[in-house]
A = this chain, B = another copy of it.
């Protein structure tokens, strides 16, 4: 069962917020702190890490203490080291950590590696209206969301979203300019779960929206490493569970 109170690690590129005044205005302590506050208010233990820390703040030790990793990256995907990206991926597939990838993290190295595809999409920055419609109202990630979330200004992402067919499809976005997008998608990967949630362009106050915060809380819980996880048995099995009689 999901941890009622998983340990969360929030990773943020943390570049826009230190250089761009428009972003700073919305997220003076960084997007990671804006994401952390409502999770802490819900009683979760939350830590943060950023790109410019040693090993990007994603050491084996810190990952081992995380049940869910939330990821926000944009301009500096290429600066994430391959070693760290592979470490994150393995923590998901081998040990069951959840990964919640936000917005432009569709191009983050660990997300792309977990998908196995190019993760391309359409985009447009025009500050247009977005509506996120619930398509699976019984899904845990939609808990507390009635019908639709409306965001007055957002970046547009459009289909086709070059990801494998999601195992769980929770939200679809409508954009004022005419496009649609699968905005809330879940996948199982090895022992872990991945959730992609679309909104959150850095020049808009999206992560201060209470319903967006609720979805992220839901996703963090849904994706979290479950209790009672048994490590799978693998590799060579010399003794069969059932005796194999000799044959001519």
Q: Which residues of A contact B (CB under 8 A)?
A: 1-2, 4, 89-90, 93-94, 96, 113-118, 120-124, 126, 128-129, 131, 133-140, 142-148, 150, 156, 158-162, 164-165, 167-169, 172-180, 182, 187-193, 218, 221-222, 226-238, 240-242, 244
Contact = CB atoms under 8 A, between A and B. Distances in A.
Contacts of A172: 159, 172, 180, 182
Contacts of A160: 133-137, 232, 234
Contact of A143 (B1, B90, B159, B236): B1
Nearest to A113: B116
B122 A244 contact: no
A174 B174 contact: yes
A164 B162 contact: no
A138 B242 contact: no
Question: Which 10 pairs of residues, A with B, have the shortest CB-CB distance?
Answer: A177-B240, A143-B228, A178-B242, A178-B241, A138-B191, A116-B116, A114-B116, A144-B228, A146-B230, A137-B232
Instruction: Indicate how many identical chains form the complex.
Output: 4
B169 A167 contact: no
Contacts of A114: 116-117
Contacts of A156: 237, 240
